[in-house]
Amino acid sequence: MDAAMGAMRYLALGFIFLIGMAVLAGLVLFVIDRTQTGDAIRRNYPVIGRFRLLFTKLGEFFRQYFFAMDREEMPFNRAQRDWVNRASDGHDNTIAFGSTRSLSEPGTAIFTNAAFPPLEGSATQPMVIGAGARHPYAAPSFFNISGMSFGALSSPAVTALSRGAKAAGIWMNTGEGGLSPYHLSGGADIVMQIGTAKYGVRDEHGRLDDSRLKDIAALPQVKMFEIKLAQGAKPGKGGILPGAKVTPEIAAIRGIPVGEDSISPNRHVEVDDFGDLLDLICHVREVTGKPVGIKTVFGAPEPFEELFTLIRKRGAECAPDFITLDGGEGGTGASPMPLMDLVGVSIRESLPIVVDLRDEAGLKDRIPIIASGKLVNPSDVGWAICAGADFITSARGFMFALGCIQSLKCNKNTCPTGITTHDPRFQKGLVPEEKWARVAAYAKGIIHDVETIAHSVGVAEPRQMSRRHVRIVQDNGLSLPMTQIVKRYSASTTT
């Protein structure tokens, strides 16, 4: 009995001690909040005002898991992410009862089924890029991995993407951060991106270093080079890698100081006009012997008209071997909000225009178009092919395959899934030996389902689809053929 009473007494004393500590902590926070001058809410409502910030941060969490409907969350809704997750797991992606997608939502793509579809479809055939280069590339897949730099992504993430790309037979774009051992580790085909800072192929002054360019081109895995002019998430601004993510290894690969913000110029300093751009393309192609293309964003038709006119004047041999067109809805690890939200035209509007301008210039067989920008599901990819794209690349789709939960922490080095962080604490959660299979399964799932759409509309393989095979829902809830909505675009319409 005495022992029990003693225990109760100690528990009571402990409880009183905890209450006292809580009161003391509250008083300390009250004094701190009342005397600080940076936050008016905390100054006027000491201690209690702190809950506003807490609830604001938690709101993002609750919206994602409890309040957002399957198809209303941004930038990618739950239905989109769930499709990627099922495909990445290799699970059956059939559904029951009926679609949860609103088929009357303006902009929805509806594919036109054929009365007599082919009994047997065929696999998509490889497409040659850069036939005039010394080492053309027969690209096996229409769906590939878009540019994501080592630095923006962790080493386990890049390793898993490389292994998955090899297993799926698709290419992997390095992004502007240079070529790392992790890109090469899986044996995948590589597209080496040359950003405005020339990371990985720069000299001590930041200029293009031909010797480094040759060394990278000598690697059999490196199939093409992409000169990045702009990306959809931040047109007119170079890449941004916070100093916290510039580790000694990343600094060595990029050729920059450790721990300092890595800010790329907003354009290539030696390229002042399209003549300079074509000169740079020809130079890189001559040095490397491999296909060389450009990545850019549509802002208006006139620049593309000028580019294609100059190519016709100089000759098709001076043309880029491909054009990667990124949409204004593209993503990135870090971008100023005005550029993310307000600059760059959507791929839905820009792709048909650029395709038409290319075709009008007689360059359809010379310059393949690679579409990019929030194209992560079969409907998105199928629409882009119908609109005229020859290839599609995705970045965030493959991030979802790696396990991304859209926590929106890409720029903070605190990514909880280990994808966009260099903190070992978080990186250990991403095991490349497991995740590569999800990357491969996602790519194969997209390819399979887009081929299924192609067979349904009555053609043997996806690149045989055209604008007549898709209808677009209008504001009144009715759909019209894409051929009626998107008239063939001509340079003469802008004069």
Tens digit of each residue's pLDDT (9 = 90 or more) over 307-333? 999 999 999 999 999 999 998 666 555
242 or 237, which is more confident? 242
Whether residue 217 contacts residue 289, with contact meaning beta carbons closer than 8 Å, is answered with: yes
CA 105-109-112 angle, 5° bins:
125
Output the pLDDT for position 58.
61
pLDDT band per the 50, 70, 90 thresholds, residue 360: very high
414 or 253, which is more confident? 253
Which stretches within 63-154 are classed as H helix?
78-88
The side-by-side arrangement of strands in the sheet containing 479-481 is 109-111, 470-473, 479-481
- Tally of CA atoms within 13 A in the half-sphere of 375 that contains its CB: 37
Output the pLDDT for position 319.
97
Output the pLDDT for position 45.
72
Percent of the chain's residues with pLDDT above 70 = 81
- What residues does 481 pair with on adjacent strands? 471
Q: Scanning the structure block, which residue is given the tokens 């099922």? A: 86
Checking if the pLDDT of 53 tops 70, the result is: no
pLDDT in tens, 29-48: 888 988 877 665 677 778 88
Whole-angstrom Cα distance, residue 160 to residue 155? 9
For 274, the token pair is 């399209």
| CATH no. for 127-494 | 3.20.20.70
Which stretches within 289-423 are classed as H helix?
301-314, 337-342, 347-360, 378-387, 396-402
Checking if the pLDDT of 408 tops 90, the result is: no
Checking if the pLDDT of 96 tops 80, the result is: no
Q: How far is CA 366 from CA 137, 228, 276, 291, 317, in A?
A: 13, 19, 20, 12, 9
For 154, the token pair is 């962790």
Q: Are strands 127-129 and 323-326 parallel, antiparallel or unpaired?
A: unpaired
> Mean pLDDT in the chain?
85
Lowest mean pLDDT across 70-84, 177-191, 387-401, 407-421:
70-84
Output the pLDDT for position 234.
55
